[in-house]
Amino acid sequence: MADGVDTALAGVLYLVNVMHRLGLPACLEAAWPPGVELGAWGLLDAVARGLLAGGVGERRPRELAADPLWSALVELAGRDPGSPLGGDCRGLHDHGLASSWEGSDGQARAWRFRGPLAAPVGGCQRRWLALAVPFLRRWLARSLGMGVGKVAGELLRPGRVHVTTTHVDAVMSLDAISLPVRVAGLDADPGWVPELGRVVQFHFE
């Protein structure tokens, strides 16, 4: 995908900075044994699906689920197309939120994560997202200085995403710049991200 893929969801890559600030996926590694964890790209994929599950404005979940960005994330995660997002959940107890997350006591009231965007996510990962996404929405709302219901709209940014063996570059127009995202530093270049195995950069032109 070096030539790039057009997407309406280039803002999903802002979540790379969110994951860094929240210590993801490292804070989950102790709780999720090998074979169950999502990996960093898979976790970004799953979190984005959770945040967008209810749709954004006139963009319905089914339309968002068909966006080409998801195929790019599958490639980056090294998954086979059509394979489930997450490993075997048998024998794994449900886990709450990371105790290291500020403002979280490790538990939360779950919401129902369902619909087209939830379909590829494995069972225990889906249950974790049902707890984590409400917390992530509140965290983003505080960081962006906006209502919880507007958070997902910041991920809806048209652009072109280029994937190589060393880089992931999101190219967006200057019109796509969001002042709340800029002030919060979520569109700052992450640079080399060891967990992702790529240099991640944002370009506005």
Mean pLDDT of the chain: 87
How many domains does the chain contain in total? 1
Structure confidence by residue, pLDDT tens digits, 29-84: 655 655 556 789 999 999 999 999 999 988 999 999 999 999 999 999 998 888 88
Find tokens 């997902």 and name the residue. Answer: 152
| Domain assignment of residue 144, given as a range | 5-204
Whether 91 shows a pLDDT value over 60: the answer reads no
- Model's pTM, two decimal places? 0.90
The whole-number pLDDT of residue 140 equals 96
* Single-letter amino acid code for the residue at 4: G
154-164 in b/e form (b: 16+ CB < 10 A) is bbbbebbbbbe
Q: Are 164 and 5 in contact (CB under 8 A)?
A: no
Q: Nearest to residue 196, comparing CAs of 172, 160, 164?
A: 164
